[in-house]
Amino acid sequence: MSVRLSPGNGFTPQAPPMRLPHLEHEYRLIADMGDEYEIPKIHGTGLSRSVSTIAGGTIEGPRIKGKVLDNSGADWATRVHSEKIFYKLEARYTVLTDDGFYILVNAKGVFGLGPDIPDSGKEEPTCSQDEIEYFSHLSYEAPGDSPYNWLNSIVAVGVMTMWENKVVIDAYRLTNFPGKEAEGVYVVN
């Protein structure tokens, strides 16, 4: 595997050189979206709160398999009323693994149309990566005595699309150690 150097090295040549991190695919999650509603013009501003419930879903990857618990969360997005559709995302939901462990997922991100993509004025049930910027930072609260403790120690990025009104998330872990599994976090007494 070739090492790809950070473009930041050119801005601070006096500092030690750095390399780009690696992305490890951890899972794909497909979320069934439920009811949604909007609270318009919060405080009389150009912002609205758009709430979409998460009705259920599935999660599967090399180290995790399970389901999104029915109605266990929602996305409380802030819609910025600008020339093109744009949302700041803030979602929370619970996953139940096939072996019986609950994991809380926290996601903060953005949804917006890509460059040169016109705003149709309506939400489409399917959007591809060719049309949108749709990403999130994912963090987790997993039981420390479970096989999923490793989720507590990672920085993860969600790369997202919409498919038939379902949110599709590929979760990637940022790491400096490609091919190595993330380790759990343990408190020493």
Residue 118: pLDDT band (50, 70, 90) is: confident
pLDDT band (50, 70, 90) for residue 125: confident
Q: How many CB atoms lie within 10 A of CB 165?
A: 15
Decide if 189 is inside a domain: no
In a domain, 75, yes or no: yes
Give the single-character DSSP code of 64.
-
107 located within any domain = yes
Q: What is the pLDDT of residues 69-101, one digit of tens each?
A: 999 999 999 988 887 888 999 999 999 999 999
Taking 80 as the threshold, does the pLDDT of residue 60 lie above it?
yes
Q: Is residue 150 part of a domain?
A: yes
Residue 186, in any domain of the structure: no
In a domain, 14, yes or no: no
User: 162 lies in a domain?
Assistant: yes
Count of domains observed in the chain: 1
Range(s) of the domain holding residue 95? 21-175
The answer as to whether 105 is a domain residue is: yes
CATH code, domain carrying 62:
2.40.160.20
CA angle (87, 132, 95) in 5-degree steps: 65
User: Residue 28 carries which side chain, given as an amino acid letter?
Assistant: R
**Whether the Cβ atoms of residue 67 and residue 73 lie closer than 8 Å to each other:** no
Q: Are the C-beta atoms of 20 and 5 separated by less than 8 Å?
A: yes
